[in-house]
Structure 1
Amino acid sequence: MDSISEIKQKLDIVDLIGNYVELKKSGRNYKGLCPFHGEKSPSLMVSPELQIYKCFGCGEAGDVFAFYRKVEGVEFGAALEALAERAGVKLERRAYDPDSSAKKMIYEINHLAAQYFNFILTKHKVGSKALDYLKKDRRLTDETIQSFLLGYAPDSFDGLLKFLQTKKFTPDQVFLAGLVVNGKKPGTFIDKFRGRITFPLTGIDGKVVGFTARATDGQEPKYLNTPETLIFHKSNYIFGL
């Protein structure tokens, strides 16, 4: 069992959220005032059975990691350390080394995602409009597109996620890489980048650490970037493609 799964197994989400919110039993679940927006009537529901929470007022939802990151305003690495300590799970320090298994996993996920986006752009009819834009409006050659592994994220809720699941990655692992976000339904995930041209961001070793994605049809924001992860730090990059 990996550290993330072990932490989620040992921590009770009701106990964790109860440290921040006064929860009251409501049938099989617990209810309380959501800490993420002002409200007078409780709309935050916590499920001990599913170990997830959902606010029916603002839409925030997720597991213990999602709640802790949001309420404390920290990135995943800090949340992982804090919750591991609470759960009594010992993290191997090599998990934060350049060659750690967690980082290797994210690099692999990003590499596969870049290939997926590039395939959609250059080989699939869904990406034809974006490809025309790059070649005609931006005057990019096929060689340039392939050299930088430019791609297109289809306007699909879970196209990338389903592809990565065929490669034996779990939704939680893809979430760790910053490529999916919590869906409206508790416990679900959707692709972060949808209907956008993707530009892989690489480190000095050439490995893909994240993405910036440009809207093609007036979406806001115009550019959407990978969130902070174990291998991606936004401050290291200048955007404006």
Structure 2
Amino acid sequence: MALPLDFVERVRESNDIVEVVREYFPLKKAGQNYKALCPFHSEKTPSFFVSPSKQIFHCFGCGEGGDVIGFVMKIENISFYEAVKKLAERAGIPVPHFKEEPEEAKRKKILLGILKRTAEFYSRYFWESKKAEEARKYMLEERGVKEEVLKEFMIGYAPRGSVLVEEARKSGIDITLLEESGVVVYRVDKKKYEDRFSNRIIFPIKDSQGRVVGFGGRILGKGEPKYLNSPETRYFHKSRILYNFDKVKEYALKENSIIITEGYMDVIGLWQVGIKNVVATMGTAFTSQHVRLISRFVERVYLLFDPDFAGKEAVLRSTDLLLKSGLDVRVVINETEMEPDEIAKEKGFSFLKDMIKNGMDLIGFRIKEAVKGRDI
């Protein structure tokens, strides 16, 4: 059943939008309003504004905007009903018994089902198809990943062409549902739908509940981009998800720490040698949502990025957020010429464990880089 309008209005009026937003990230006064860096897109100059008089938010960079309920829906990636319930509980307002709107619940189930079945299809294709032989050889032999690890991470292969589009047409599946799920894309220039991923190793991305919400695809052979991710969808937001977080929680709690890397293969490489409190940012900037996610489980964070300039820049971009978080942050100094998954493969568990154990505190790392003349 639908929520009573008077209940929704009471919830809206009982939750000041400035106070709610401040629970997620800091705001700065800007005249009669407040401003911050937008949590919904990457930017260097604040374009996200909150109006206490109008009780709305608006980003002049990406165009996101709305009231306090809309903000919670967007920042938490939850439905209208879930957002109202969350805000009601925050304000101490008794929540009437209600169920999620049937159509919304049905659509959610359908979309998540499509993503799950797509991941299963890619995985089956990887192991069973002759056309995936090169993909299997690449992962098993060149990258040295064991069969059981590949299966644990549901690694798959997206063949050339548009097999998902073809299968949808044969099965009578509404192609727009696949588009909404992010697995197919409409090419305006060609005036037709195509699979988003073609000739790529597939890494299913799961939310904290273990549900497939998106994919990362690495090109097999030459081609650009090297890595292609699912687009932002109702359920997939790179700024809120860390790769492997669904499996890492018990190990993170045990170690009271999380190791943050850049990519899918870094996670898989470390996992294979027995280092399992590891996640990846999937090439995106580290965000306040990532910080909140991690700080619920651990007190210490290790940053283990690639040894090149870009890897160090990634560390430096993360420093301000992490320093404000109260977490104990250590930078793993990678003096090898190898990426983390290569270190795991060539040097093994003990070497990596020592590297991590000797991580430098964040302030010390910044000073070290400043002495080198790097702008921080």
TM-score normalised according to structure 1 size: 0.57
Larger Rg: 2
Cα distance change, pair 237–223 in 1 and its aligned pair in 2 (3 A): farther
Matched residue, 1:105: 110
Measured against aligned partners, the alpha-carbon deviations of 1:13-40 in whole angstroms (never above 9, x if no partner) come to xxxxxxxxxxxxxxxxxxxxxxxxxxxx
1:202 equivalent to 2:210? Answer no
Q: CA deviation at 1:94?
A: 5.0
1:118 equivalent to 2:138? Answer no
Residues 196 and 214 in structure 1, CA contact (< 8 A), matched pair in contact too: yes
Residues 165 and 194 in structure 2, CA contact (< 8 A), matched pair in contact too: yes
Cα distance change, pair 199–236 in 1 and its aligned pair in 2 (3 A): same
Tell me which protein shows more helix as a share of its residues.
Answer: 2
Q: Which amino acid is 1:195 matched to?
A: N
Measured against aligned partners, the alpha-carbon deviations of 1:189-224 in whole angstroms (never above 9, x if no partner) come to 000000100000011211100000001112111110
Cα distance change, pair 74–120 in 1 and its aligned pair in 2 (3 A): farther
Matched residue, 1:185: 190
User: Could you tell me how far apart the structure 1 residues matched to 2:63 and 2:118 are?
Assistant: 25
Cα distance change, pair 236–166 in 1 and its aligned pair in 2 (3 A): farther
Matched residue, 2:159: 154
Matched residue, 1:137: 142
Corresponding residue SS for 2:239:
helix
Q: Which amino acid is 1:217 matched to?
A: G
Corresponding residue SS for 1:100:
helix
User: Could you tell me how far apart the structure 2 residues matched to 1:227 and 1:211 are?
Assistant: 9
> Runs of 5+ in structure 2 lacking a partner?
1-60, 65-69, 71-78, 84-99, 243-261, 265-376
Corresponding residue SS for 1:234:
coil
Corresponding residue SS for 1:182:
strand
* Greater RCO structure (CA 8 Å; 6+ sep): 1
Q: CA deviation at 1:227?
A: 0.4
Q: Which amino acid is 1:216 matched to?
A: L
* Runs of 4+ in structure 1 over 3 Å off: 72-75, 92-99, 164-168
Q: Which amino acid is 2:263 matched to?
A: G
Q: Which amino acid is 1:130 matched to?
A: A
For the aligned residue pairs, the C-alpha RMSD in angstroms reads: 2.8
Measured against aligned partners, the alpha-carbon deviations of 1:116-172 in whole angstroms (never above 9, x if no partner) come to 11111100011110011100011111111111110000011x202223445542111
User: Could you tell me how far apart the structure 1 residues matched to 2:63 and 2:183 are?
Assistant: 18
1:217 equivalent to 2:221? Answer yes
Q: 1:84-95 to 2 correspondence within 5 Å? A: 93=80
State percent identity of aligned pairs: 30
Cα distance change, pair 191–208 in 1 and its aligned pair in 2 (3 A): same
Cα distance change, pair 185–73 in 1 and its aligned pair in 2 (3 A): farther
TM-score normalised according to structure 2 size: 0.37
Corresponding residue SS for 2:216:
strand
Matched residue, 1:174: 178
Matched residue, 1:38: none
Measured against aligned partners, the alpha-carbon deviations of 1:28-61 in whole angstroms (never above 9, x if no partner) come to xxxxxxxxxxxxxxxxxxxxxxxxxxxxxxxxxx
> Runs of 5+ in structure 1 lacking a partner?
1-71, 76-80, 82-91
User: Could you tell me how far apart the structure 1 residues matched to 2:226 and 2:174 are?
Assistant: 29
User: Could you tell me how far apart the structure 2 residues matched to 1:145 and 1:166 are?
Assistant: 30
Corresponding residue SS for 1:106:
helix
Cα distance change, pair 167–94 in 1 and its aligned pair in 2 (3 A): farther
